[in-house]
Structure 1
Amino acid sequence: MASATPTPARGGGFERTLERTVLLNQLLFGGVVLLGVLLIVVTGVVEHATSFAMGTLLAFFTTGAAMLVPWNRLPALLTMLVPAVDVAVIGLLAAASPETGLEVLWVFPAMWFGAGMGAAGVGVASGLISVSYWTIVASEPMLSLTPSVVLLPLAMAAVAATSHLSARRASAHRLLLERQSQQLRQSVERARRQEDLITDVLDAVDFGVVRIRDDGSLVVTNEANARMQRASERARTAYEADGITPLPEERLPLARARRGELFEDELVWYGRPGDDRRRAQRSTARRVFDTDLDPVGTIVVTRDVTAEELALRAREDLVASVSHELRTPLTSITGYVELALENEELPSSARRNLEVAQRNAERLLSLVADILSASAVSRRGIDLSIDRVRTDLAAVVQAAIEAAEPRAAERRITIDSSGIEEGVAFADPHRIRQVVDNLLSNAIKYGREDGHIAVGTTQDDAHVWIVVRDDGPGIPPQELPRLFERFFRSDAVRNTTIHGSGLGLAISRDIARAHGGEITVQSTPEKGSTFVVRLPASNGNEDAG
């Protein structure tokens, strides 16, 4: 049988379903009845021709009505007239030919009643079928004592009840599917609105955003990225962070991200040096994960930093130019002061004044040297001048300690060098001396009087380590992340008479990194700080060869 007649409020979909249900059910019933009629005619077992003719005509009439009547314009309950007439049709045909067993065809209207009218339909079907069957039995005394008198009405009632339960389950499933479909439509609509919102936000920002799948295809891109992409395509040539070294196409940020590479704040120049239309872009590529923390692609964020980079270059050029201009007269001043101090006939008061001038001139010269070094490792990406050779690190550190001891003695600070072990590094001895000098100078300058400084070196198969430990006031935890920033000075020393440029540690870290090493720090307030310098023990290129 076709699906049960639905019970919701009537509408266009309901009306079409109602018509289709009546038509399909009756056509199926009419087809089976036609086969039964043909069987009776062929076998010639008709006992009551009038009942046979009436049943046959009534079956065809009901089937025609099912096809022609606009059931969608009538109350749904009237459709139950069709299975009621079908019960009568089967009764007439069964009475016309009792031996053919046409009573089993009552299963069709029983199912229809059970599915279409619910529990009431089960009762109506049981009643109509029982009355019809018992009427036939009453007219045929030879059938009155058979078990089918009871079993057949019970079976039809069971069929109607089963159809009713199946219809209820189907209706519940249909309602559930409709709710799920509605929730799905609402979810799709929310997702569409959210996607539109994200698209509007992405198009409103001034930095480029690209989402890349694991296979390298682009999923999302915003208007700012399209603008920057067009500008880079017009430039045709790309350069590394120094603005001079050409960058091959396969090393461009987007190409690298498509291959699955991750990077942070990569600077690329687009356009030839000297071109007024030259642009600088910084790109970052990071992985994207789903709710199960499985990687599902990469997102690339690109910013146009042309104005910032040009401003930084102008500032650094100015600082370098001024520093160079200051260095020459300062060198002359310190030279002439030293000559004046060599005069043994110099009055003691004049000697003290010249010594003060010499110390301040040397401090100013050291500051200029720091600024020039910071300029050399500026954000343009220009490398420090590093001349790497096999270096006896213990000798370099020991020489730095000897040079620092007079200043340490002025503050009654002792320097313990018992931790120095033999170690050979592939490094620039002058640059490493600059790093050690800076660490010792800071430990003496910011340490406590009568304090203690321990210096040591050690080596493993891959690295050489320099350790400088003091028992000074330490560094506050909130200031540790900024300790290696240029021009950063702790709040604790900024308001004191201790002089400093805030460049020493930044330069030392740049020197260590230029060697392929690193500087780290651990500090506990009121207990002191420990700086560790890591350097390569050998030439990586030679090892690779």
Structure 2
Amino acid sequence: MRMAIPPRATSGGGGDVRERIVASNQLFLCAVVGILFLVGVATGGLPDAATYGWGMLLIVAGGVAALSVPWSRVALGWSAVIPTIDVVAIALLRASDPSAGFPLLWAFPAIWLSSIGRIGLVVSCVGLPGLYWSMLAAGSTPRGTYSVLLLPLLLVAISAASYTVARRHESQRRLLDRQTERFAAAHREALRQEQLVTEVLDVVDFGVIRLSDSGEIILENDALTRFGDIPGFCGRTDDGELLDARLVPVPADRHPLARVRAGESFADVVAWFHRPDGRRTAMSFTGRQLSDHHGAPAGAVLIARDVTVEHDAQQARDDLVASISHELRTPLTSILGYLDLALEGGGLSDEARRQIDTSYRNSERLLGIVTDILAASSRSSASVDTRLRPRAVDVVEVARSAVSGLTPVAQERFVSIGVVRSGFAVAYADPARLRQVLDNLIANAIKFNRDGGTVTVRTSTDGVHTVVEVADTGVGMTPGAAARVFDRFFRAAPEIAGNGLGLSITRDLVNAHGGTIAVASVAGEGTTFTVTLPATEAVQRRELEERAQAELS
């Protein structure tokens, strides 16, 4: 949107000022002369009415010219004609009555002439006193020296002051004109930049809403209107159609626009809404509070981006990985079954048994990798929740079962493994998923341990949360590796076999229970993983609700 800038009226504005000055000066003089004429007529104090009348007629004619002539269209020097006529007219008034003090009226043309320029100043300071002294010389001798000098000195002082004021006014006017020109240029540049930003915002494919510090919407780009019927935007007020990541209607006070108006800042908050044709659209919202160059609040900006394609692509990828993983797991399970039967049967030579045993172990490893990929194929916490069957579980028994299953692996490396408990520990969890969490942690503790090291599993509870610690005396990790240990496909020790998915899956399972997992490690000394789980169903529900609220924020 472009805004037209009106032209700056420099010469026209100066001409208007000149017309006002000419008219006002002459009208004041006409008014004074008219009042003196009326007083003279009323008191009979006009000894030479004819001469006074001619002088008054010249002054009135100057007033008519001051009002009728367009002084902004003529040269500045022509405006000196009227004060010159006034000088002559006032001389006639003085001639009509030398004792009346009419020469004081020369102050009006003196002010006028000196304001025109230096030539006018010279005429006013030299010509008017000279004319006065000439009239004195031609008439009666004045009384005293002061009568001869007072009026000329007064006219010189008035002329000098008027010239100084006029020059100062002219300098201020030129300065104001330059500042106005700079302001107009800055205004044009600001409009050009605004137009450029507007065009750029209209081209991008994400919606932008700019709010003032009072919460009023002052900018919406075209992309926002192209999104159509997003609830709460473009005049729509039906916030109930907007769904959060759990597909629950978003309350009015948690709507992204309402949150920005309330002073919140957030990033990548995903919400869904259903279109009338049945399609579901995912929108990602980012809100930021803005400040001016003084640090004071300057409103906010809300960015809306359509991420439906990204979510659909992610879902398609997860579905593909899950499908392939399922297809691979079925024949691998069959292979393992037949290899197990072959190992249990008799008649195998030592070499054949060794080869079959190697095939069995590698098939087990491959099945574990496929299982990890299948578990990691769905990244949303909602998908993990649907696979949970939580109930009150004796964590000590689950830990002992996991240790028992992995003891043969630990014995191969002479790693001692045991469970240390502090009383009866109960968690509200899915037993199978909890076993998977402990299997991953204990297996890692064995894998990254030293030959002859130890693995200790500790359990404790305070009735609200149940804690499981898996500590080892292995190689440990650097702080940088510990910070990334739960990232998908990250491997702290690339030289040790693994796919980098186990701890990522473990974290997702713990989070799905409403729990937390943390790691503490010292390079060369060992690592401790701490899993904290809700002890009761009420605690789990509260933890999950708080986590969902935090994700929305």
Instruction: State whether TM-score is above 0.5.
Output: yes
8 Å Cα contact 2:465/2:533 also seen in 1: yes
Summarize the Cα distance change of 1:142–1:253 in structure 2 as closer, same or farther, 3 Å threshold.
closer
Is 1:265 the counterpart of 2:268? The answer is: yes
Cα distance in 2 for residues equivalent to 1:280 and 1:290: 33
The one-letter code of the counterpart of 2:490 is R
Summarize the Cα distance change of 1:122–1:362 in structure 2 as closer, same or farther, 3 Å threshold.
same
Cα distance in 2 for residues equivalent to 1:527 and 1:129: 109
Q: SS at the partner of 2:385?
A: coil
Is 1:489 the counterpart of 2:490? The answer is: yes
8 Å Cα contact 2:381/2:508 also seen in 1: no
How far did 1:56 drift?
1.9
The one-letter code of the counterpart of 2:507 is R
Deviations along 1:451-488, one digit per CA (max 9) or x if unpaired, are 777877888998776665766363584x77765443x2
Equivalent position of 1:323 in the other structure:
325
Equivalent position of 1:55 in the other structure:
55
Cα distance in 2 for residues equivalent to 1:417 and 1:513: 24
Cα distance in 1 for residues equivalent to 2:268 and 2:500: 24
How far did 1:77 drift?
1.6
Summarize the Cα distance change of 1:68–1:229 in structure 2 as closer, same or farther, 3 Å threshold.
closer
- The percentage of aligned residue pairs carrying the same residue is 40
How far did 1:392 drift?
7.1
8 Å Cα contact 1:214/1:260 also seen in 2: no
Cα distance in 1 for residues equivalent to 2:224 and 2:349: 72
How far did 1:411 drift?
4.6
The one-letter code of the counterpart of 1:506 is S
Summarize the Cα distance change of 1:101–1:484 in structure 2 as closer, same or farther, 3 Å threshold.
farther
Equivalent position of 1:226 in the other structure:
225
How far did 1:79 drift?
1.4
Equivalent position of 2:34 in the other structure:
34
Q: SS at the partner of 1:472?
A: coil
8 Å Cα contact 2:244/2:250 also seen in 1: no
**Pairing 1:45-84 to 2, within 5 Å after superposition:** 45-49=45-49, 51-72=51-72, 74-84=74-84
Deviations along 1:220-253, one digit per CA (max 9) or x if unpaired, are 222222121248789x9555446xx453573654
Cα distance in 2 for residues equivalent to 1:528 and 1:184: 69
**Mean alpha-carbon deviation: is it higher for 107-116 or for 277-286?**
277-286
Q: SS at the partner of 2:497?
A: coil
**Mean alpha-carbon deviation: is it higher for 258-267 or for 283-292?**
258-267
Equivalent position of 2:5 in the other structure:
none
**Mean alpha-carbon deviation: is it higher for 207-216 or for 30-39?**
207-216
Could you list the runs of 5+ residues in structure 1 that have no partner in the other structure? 1-8
Deviations along 1:45-75, one digit per CA (max 9) or x if unpaired, are 4455565334323222322333344545543
Equivalent position of 2:6 in the other structure:
none
Equivalent position of 1:129 in the other structure:
128
The one-letter code of the counterpart of 2:499 is S
How far did 1:216 drift?
4.5
Summarize the Cα distance change of 1:522–1:473 in structure 2 as closer, same or farther, 3 Å threshold.
closer
How far did 1:522 drift?
6.9
Summarize the Cα distance change of 1:154–1:446 in structure 2 as closer, same or farther, 3 Å threshold.
farther
Cα distance in 2 for residues equivalent to 1:109 and 1:469: 108
8 Å Cα contact 2:427/2:466 also seen in 1: no
Cα distance in 1 for residues equivalent to 2:153 and 2:399: 107
Equivalent position of 2:501 in the other structure:
503
How far did 1:198 drift?
1.9
**Mean alpha-carbon deviation: is it higher for 363-372 or for 55-64?**
363-372
How far did 1:153 drift?
3.0
Cα distance in 2 for residues equivalent to 1:290 and 1:194: 18
8 Å Cα contact 2:229/2:275 also seen in 1: no
Equivalent position of 1:428 in the other structure:
429
Cα distance in 1 for residues equivalent to 2:160 and 2:394: 99
8 Å Cα contact 1:438/1:508 also seen in 2: yes
Cα distance in 2 for residues equivalent to 1:465 and 1:186: 69
Summarize the Cα distance change of 1:542–1:186 in structure 2 as closer, same or farther, 3 Å threshold.
closer
How far did 1:501 drift?
2.7
Equivalent position of 2:310 in the other structure:
308
Deviations along 1:79-123, one digit per CA (max 9) or x if unpaired, are 123223323433443454455544443332232233221x44333
The one-letter code of the counterpart of 1:185 is A
How far did 1:532 drift?
5.6
Cα distance in 2 for residues equivalent to 1:267 and 1:385: 23
Equivalent position of 1:4 in the other structure:
none
Equivalent position of 1:298 in the other structure:
300
**Pairing 1:79-90 to 2, within 5 Å after superposition:** 79-90=79-90
**Mean alpha-carbon deviation: is it higher for 341-350 or for 293-302?**
341-350
Cα distance in 2 for residues equivalent to 1:165 and 1:371: 91
Is 1:168 the counterpart of 2:167? The answer is: yes
How far did 1:27 drift?
1.7
Q: SS at the partner of 2:184?
A: helix
The one-letter code of the counterpart of 1:143 is R
Is 1:513 the counterpart of 2:511? The answer is: yes
**Mean alpha-carbon deviation: is it higher for 183-192 or for 290-299?**
290-299
8 Å Cα contact 1:327/1:368 also seen in 2: yes
Q: SS at the partner of 2:79?
A: helix
The one-letter code of the counterpart of 1:156 is L
Cα distance in 2 for residues equivalent to 1:142 and 1:407: 136
Cα distance in 2 for residues equivalent to 1:414 and 1:159: 113
Cα distance in 2 for residues equivalent to 1:72 and 1:506: 84
> TM-score normalised to the size of structure 1?
0.77
Cα distance in 1 for residues equivalent to 2:319 and 2:170: 81
The one-letter code of the counterpart of 1:370 is D
Summarize the Cα distance change of 1:536–1:50 in structure 2 as closer, same or farther, 3 Å threshold.
farther
How far did 1:407 drift?
4.2
Q: SS at the partner of 2:162?
A: helix
The one-letter code of the counterpart of 1:291 is H
Could you list the runs of 5+ residues in structure 2 that have no partner in the other structure? 1-8, 546-553
Q: SS at the partner of 1:206?
A: coil
Cα distance in 2 for residues equivalent to 1:374 and 1:149: 113
How far did 1:397 drift?
6.3
Cα distance in 1 for residues equivalent to 2:197 and 2:482: 37
Cα distance in 1 for residues equivalent to 2:213 and 2:334: 63
Cα distance in 2 for residues equivalent to 1:132 and 1:426: 117
Q: SS at the partner of 2:380?
A: coil
How far did 1:503 drift?
1.9
**Mean alpha-carbon deviation: is it higher for 524-533 or for 103-112?**
524-533
Q: SS at the partner of 1:153?
A: helix
What's the C-alpha RMSD, in Å, of the aligned pairs? Answer: 4.6
**Mean alpha-carbon deviation: is it higher for 397-406 or for 125-134?**
397-406
**Mean alpha-carbon deviation: is it higher for 137-146 or for 164-173?**
137-146
Summarize the Cα distance change of 1:333–1:155 in structure 2 as closer, same or farther, 3 Å threshold.
same
Equivalent position of 1:105 in the other structure:
105
> TM-score normalised to the size of structure 2?
0.76
Deviations along 1:349-375, one digit per CA (max 9) or x if unpaired, are 555445434433433343343234324
Cα distance in 1 for residues equivalent to 2:71 and 2:497: 100
Equivalent position of 1:472 in the other structure:
475
Summarize the Cα distance change of 1:531–1:140 in structure 2 as closer, same or farther, 3 Å threshold.
farther
Cα distance in 1 for residues equivalent to 2:369 and 2:385: 20
Cα distance in 2 for residues equivalent to 1:393 and 1:69: 106
8 Å Cα contact 2:49/2:96 also seen in 1: yes
8 Å Cα contact 2:425/2:460 also seen in 1: no
8 Å Cα contact 1:313/1:380 also seen in 2: no
Cα distance in 1 for residues equivalent to 2:51 and 2:145: 23
8 Å Cα contact 1:400/1:433 also seen in 2: yes
Summarize the Cα distance change of 1:143–1:445 in structure 2 as closer, same or farther, 3 Å threshold.
farther
How far did 1:38 drift?
2.5
Summarize the Cα distance change of 1:340–1:192 in structure 2 as closer, same or farther, 3 Å threshold.
same
Cα distance in 2 for residues equivalent to 1:470 and 1:110: 107
Equivalent position of 1:6 in the other structure:
none
Deviations along 1:416-444, one digit per CA (max 9) or x if unpaired, are 989x8779686427445544443443354
Cα distance in 2 for residues equivalent to 1:143 and 1:423: 129
Q: SS at the partner of 1:501?
A: coil
The one-letter code of the counterpart of 1:514 is A
The one-letter code of the counterpart of 2:429 is D
Cα distance in 1 for residues equivalent to 2:401 and 2:136: 127
Equivalent position of 2:195 in the other structure:
196
